[in-house]
Amino acid sequence: MIQINLLPEEYRKADSTPIGRFLMIIAVAVIVTGGIVTYGFVHYSKLKGIINVRVEAEAEYKNKKAQADVSKSLQAEIAGYEARRKAIQQIASRRLLHSRKLDEFLDVVHNRGDRTAYYVWLSGLRVSPPRVTRRGKSTSGGAFQFNGFAAATGSVGLSRVTKFREALRKDVFFEDFAGISMPTYKAVQWDDGLEPAAAGRFAFSMTLKPLGWRHAIKRTK
C-alpha cells in the first residue's frame, strides 16, 4: 500500500535513525574518545616521565661536564707547574753557585783549624767564565785560579802544599772540576819583623767541568 503524507513538512513527524547507523555512530564515538584518552595518557603520563628522565640526564651531564672542566683546569695547572719545575731544574743544573763553591774551598783551606798536615793562607783568587766556541758550546766551565803561602820553606813547605792539593782533590769541592795543575812553588822571606818571616809561595790553576755536567750524566743513566 502506498501512503502519502499531505501535511506540510514542518508538521510531519521526524523519521527515527536506523538502529544500524546509530550503533555505528556510537562505535565511532567510542573509538574516537578512546583514542583521545589514550593520547592524553601517553602525552601527559608517559611522555612526562620521559621528559623528567631527560631533564635529570641533562642535569647530570652538566654536573659531570663541570667536574670534567675543573679536572682539566687542574690538570693544565699541574702541567704548568711541572713545566716550570723542569725549567727551574734545568736552569739550576746549568749554573754554578760560586758562593757554595767558595764556602767549600775555604773549608779546605782552613782545615778546621788543624795545621798538622798543612797551614796555608791565600793572597789572591780569580774565577774566569767559560769560553764559548763558535757553535755556542763551552768546552769547560771556566777557570779557578788562586795563589797563597804555606807556612814553611824548602822541602817541608813543598810537602805541605802538596798535601793541601791532595786535600782539595779528595774533597766534595773538587767534584765540579776537571783537573788541577801542579803547584808553582817559590820560597820567600820578609824582614818586616812579623811572623812568619819566611814562607813558600804557591799558585794553582783549576779547570771547571762544563756547566750542566751533572744533568748530562743523569740523562745518560
211 touches 138 (CB < 8 A): yes
pLDDT at residue 181 is higher than 70 = yes
pLDDT at residue 106 is higher than 90 = yes
> What predicted TM-score, i.e. pTM, was given to this entire model?
0.55
Tens-digit pLDDT profile for residues 36-56? 767 666 666 666 677 777 778
Question: What is the count of structural domains for the chain?
Answer: 2
Final residue before a domain boundary, out of 60, 93, 126? 93
The answer to the question of residue 203 being in a domain is yes
> Which of 15-19, 76-80, 152-156, 158-162 is predicted with the least confidence, judged by mean pLDDT?
15-19
pLDDT at residue 103 is higher than 80 = yes
Q: Please tell me whether residues 127 and 213 are part of one structural domain.
A: yes
The answer to the question of residue 103 being in a domain is yes
Domain that holds residue 80: 15-93
Q: Please tell me whether residues 82 and 167 are part of one structural domain.
A: no
Q: Please tell me whether residues 103 and 166 are part of one structural domain.
A: yes
pLDDT at residue 162 is higher than 80 = yes
Q: Please tell me whether residues 35 and 138 are part of one structural domain.
A: no
Of 191, 122, 112, 181, the closest CA to residue 150 belongs to 122
pLDDT number for residue 155: 85
Final residue before a domain boundary, out of 78, 93, 108? 93
Q: Please tell me whether residues 131 and 55 are part of one structural domain.
A: no
Helix (H) or strand (E) holding 60: helix 47-93
pLDDT at residue 15 is higher than 70 = no
Provide the residue type at 110 as one letter: H
Diameter over CA atoms, the chain: 177
Q: Please tell me whether residues 75 and 121 are part of one structural domain.
A: no
* Interhelix angle 98-110/154-170, nearest 10 degrees: 140
Q: Please tell me whether residues 58 and 110 are part of one structural domain.
A: no
The answer to the question of residue 114 being in a domain is yes
Q: Please tell me whether residues 203 and 112 are part of one structural domain.
A: yes
Span 57-70, mean pLDDT? 83
Helix (H) or strand (E) holding 153: none
Q: Please tell me whether residues 102 and 201 are part of one structural domain.
A: yes
pLDDT at residue 161 is higher than 90 = yes
Q: Name 13's Cβ contacts closer than 8 Å, sequence gap at least 6.
A: none
Helix (H) or strand (E) holding 213: helix 213-220
Q: Please tell me whether residues 33 and 67 are part of one structural domain.
A: yes
Final residue before a domain boundary, out of 69, 93, 117? 93
Instruction: Give strand ranges (E) for 46-190.
Output: 120-128, 142-150, 177-180, 184-189
Label residue 18 by pLDDT band (50, 70, 90): low
